[in-house]
Structure 1
Amino acid sequence: MGDTTEGSPGAAQSAQPDPDSGADDAQTRGFFARIFEALSPGDDALAPYSNGHGLSAAAGPILGMANLRRMRVEDVSIPQADIHAVSIEATKDELVAAFRKSGKTRLPVFEGTIDTPVGIVNLKDFALKYGFNGNGQEIDLKAMLRPLLYVPPSMPLGVLLQKMQAERIHMALVIDEYGGTDGLVTIEDLLEQVVGDIEDEHDIDEARQWTREREGVYLVRAKTPLDEFESEIGLSLTDHEEIDEEEIDTIGGLIFMLAGRVPARGEVVLHPTGVEFDVIDADPRRIKRVRVRLPEARDH
C-alpha cells in the first residue's frame, strides 16, 4: 500500500541526485518537477492573482501552472459517492462488469466498505494474467493489487503531482480527518488543471459536438450550443415556463438549470418534454458529457 504519511516537506520534493554521482541536476530531477520549477511563478508573482482576477490572455500558460500551487486536492477530487470501486472478494465476472460499467482501466479495491481500501486493480494486469474473459479461471485479486496513495484534502496539487511521479502511482484516495475515504483524484485530473480537458479514445471527436448512437439517442458534449442541438433533434428544449431561455446557451447549462446544481456522474435529469439527460462524465465543478434520450427512444 502507498505511504500514508502525507504532507511532509519531503513529499513536495522530487528525487534528489546522489552528491557523489556527479550527475547533472537537470537530468536527475523529475520531469514534472523541472516543468513546475521552470514555468511556475514565484509566490510574489502569484499574490496579485490569488483571487483569479486580473490575468491577461498572455498570462494564460502561467495561470495553468499556477493552479498547481494555489489549488488543493479537494478542488478537483470526485466525491466518494461517484467512486467506481470493487470488493476484494469480487469474482471474475464481477470484476469484468465493474471495468465495463465504469469505462476505467484502474479501480480502487476495498475490503468491506470503501472506507477500508486495500489497493488498485489494473485492467492490464487482469488481461495479461487471465485474458480478457478470464480463461475460465478463478482470479486471485489480492495478487494483482497495486499500491494506492492516500492524501489529505488540503494537499497542494503540485505536491501530489510530484509524489505521483516519484512513486509511479496515478491514482490517490482522499482521506478525511477520521481516516475514511472522502474522494478520489487521478493524475489526469491534476494535469487538466494545467492544460485543460484531456480527451481519450472514448471521448467525442473535437470536431463533433454530438454523436448519434441510435435512433433517438445521442452522446453529447455539455458545451454543445443548445440551438444547434435543437435543430438536430427537431425539438425545442427552452419553450417552457420553468426554463429561462435568456440564461442558457449550452446543453450543460440547460441541465444545470433543470437540476438546480451540478449533477453527479450517473445521475439522470428529466426534461419537461420527456427528454432524458443521463450524465456520463462530470466532476464536482462541471458537466462534461451526457447521453440524451428522446421520448420515442425511452419507450423502446
Structure 2
Amino acid sequence: MGDSTDGSSMAAQSAPLDDQTEPRVRTGFFRRVIGALSPSDVGEAAPDDSARTNGQAPAHVPLDMMSLRRMRVEDVAIPKSEIISVPDTIGKEELVEVFRDTGLSRLPVYSGTLDTPVGMLHLKDFALRHGFNGKAAEAFEIHKMLRPLLYVPPSMPIGVLLQKMQTERRHMALVIDEYGGVDGLVTIEDLIEQIIGEIEDEHDTDEAEHWVKEKEGQYLAQAKSPLDEFEAEIGMSLTEADEVDEEEIDTLGGLVFMLLGRVPVRGEVIKHPAGAEFTVVDADPRRIKRLRVRLPQAAA
C-alpha cells in the first residue's frame, strides 16, 4: 500500500513538462499575454516570481513582456497629428478614397474637430451596406454605421488596456488628455507588436522585396530601400538636386528625411525637386516605414 502511494507521487512529480503546461497553451494567445502582464496591473510582481527564478525572468514569459509591465499607453500611442480620421459630414465617394489611399480598415469619425469624436467606422460595415466601391441603392448615412470608441488615459498600463480591449472586443482606442481632448490613438496591433515585433499584413511589402510596382510610374517601397538600387529601377536620379547630399543618405527614408528636415507624419506628401512625390504610408514618431513613390509622369 505504501509502495503504491509513493509510486503515484513520483509519477505525478515526474510528469513531462509539456503535459503540465498544455492547458496553459490551450487558453489562447491573448490570455497568455494578459496572464504574463497581470502582476503589473496591481503594481507589484507575482509573489513567487523571485523564488522560482532566482531573480530572472520566468522561462514562459518573453523578455519583451517583462518590459511591457512598465509601459504606458502614451509610450506606444500614435500622436494626434498622425491620426487619420474623417468628419461625420464626409461624402460616400470621399470616404471610399480615404479607405483606398490609406489601406486602413478602421477610421475614427469626429464632429467638427477630432476633439469631438463620435465613433469608429469599419470598412466591413461600409462595404456590407454600400459595396466595396461605395455603390448601392441605400442612402449613405455614416451615423448608422458607427461603432463605439474606447477612451483611455495616457497613463493606463498597456496590460490593462490589452485586457480591456479583449473584454470589450474593441480594436481601437483614443487617448484622452486631462482636458478631455484627443491626445493620440492606439490599436490592439500596436500593443501586440510591442510583444512579438512588427506585424506585417497583406498590404505590406515582402521583407525580401524592397519595393513593389503598383502601376506604371508608382511604387510602394520600404523606407530602408537602398537608394542606388531604387534609382536603377526607376531609371532616374533622386540625388542630383541641390537640396540633396548623396554622401549622407543611403535609403529612400533618408532621402525623404533630408528633403523635409524632420520625420514626416503618416499621410504626408513630400515633393522632390525632380518632380517625384513621396507619400508616407506608414511611420511612427521615430522613423519612416513605408512610402508610396510617384514618378514625375504619374505625379503629374
Report how far residue 111 of structure 1 moved. 2.4
Q: Distance in 2 between matches of 1:113 and 1:206?
A: 38
Q: Distance in 1 between matches of 2:199 and 2:254?
A: 21
Aligned to 1:123: 123
Unaligned segments of structure 1, at least 5 residues: 1-24, 46-58
Report how far residue 164 of structure 1 moved. 0.8
Report how far residue 240 of structure 1 moved. 5.8
Kindly, what percent of the aligned residue pairs are identical?
A: 65
Q: How does 1:159-178 map to 2 (within 5 A)?
A: 159-178=160-179
Q: Distance in 2 between matches of 1:99 and 1:288?
A: 19
* Cα deviation digits, residues 92-150 of structure 1 (max 9, x gap): 44443443343222121222321111221222223334444352221343333221111
Q: Distance in 2 between matches of 1:129 and 1:215?
A: 33
C-alpha RMSD over aligned residues: 3.3
Report how far residue 206 of structure 1 moved. 2.6
TM-score by length of 1: 0.73
Aligned to 2:269: 268
Aligned to 1:194: 195
| Matched residues, number | 261
Q: Distance in 2 between matches of 1:273 and 1:236?
A: 8
Report how far residue 33 of structure 1 moved. 4.1
Q: Distance in 1 between matches of 2:91 and 2:294?
A: 33
Report how far residue 39 of structure 1 moved. 8.3
Q: Distance in 2 between matches of 1:272 and 1:93?
A: 32
Letter in 2 for 1:210: W
8 Å CA contact 2:34–2:162 kept in 1: the answer is no
Q: Distance in 2 between matches of 1:160 and 1:107?
A: 19
**235-244 vs 182-191, greater mean Cα deviation:** 235-244
- Which secondary structure does the structure 2 equivalent of 1:136 belong to? coil
The structure-2 alpha-carbon separation of the partners of 1:249 and 1:167, relative to structure 1 and needing over 3 Å to count, comes to same
Q: Distance in 2 between matches of 1:287 and 1:146?
A: 30
- Which secondary structure does the structure 1 equivalent of 2:147 belong to? coil
Aligned to 1:55: none
Q: Distance in 2 between matches of 1:295 and 1:140?
A: 38
Letter in 2 for 1:99: F
Q: How does 1:1-300 map to 2 (within 5 A)?
A: 31-38=29-36, 62-132=62-132, 133-238=134-239, 243-298=244-299, 300=300
Letter in 1 for 2:108: P
Aligned to 2:53: none
8 Å CA contact 2:76–2:186 kept in 1: the answer is yes
Q: Distance in 2 between matches of 1:254 and 1:261?
A: 11
8 Å CA contact 2:272–2:278 kept in 1: the answer is yes
8 Å CA contact 1:76–1:283 kept in 2: the answer is no
Q: Distance in 2 between matches of 1:146 and 1:250?
A: 40
8 Å CA contact 1:268–1:278 kept in 2: the answer is yes
Letter in 2 for 1:34: R
* Cα deviation digits, residues 161-185 of structure 1 (max 9, x gap): 1211111100001111110112211
Higher relative contact order, structure no. (Cα contacts within 8 Å, ≥ 6 residues apart): 1
User: Highest Rg: 1 or 2?
Assistant: 2
Report how far residue 281 of structure 1 moved. 1.7
The structure-2 alpha-carbon separation of the partners of 1:292 and 1:67, relative to structure 1 and needing over 3 Å to count, comes to farther
The structure-2 alpha-carbon separation of the partners of 1:83 and 1:269, relative to structure 1 and needing over 3 Å to count, comes to same
* Cα deviation digits, residues 31-90 of structure 1 (max 9, x gap): 424234448998999xxxxxxxxxxxxx9x834324422333223222223322233344
8 Å CA contact 1:127–1:134 kept in 2: the answer is no
Letter in 2 for 1:198: I
Letter in 2 for 1:151: V
Q: Distance in 1 between matches of 2:201 and 2:235?
A: 30
**228-237 vs 261-270, greater mean Cα deviation:** 228-237
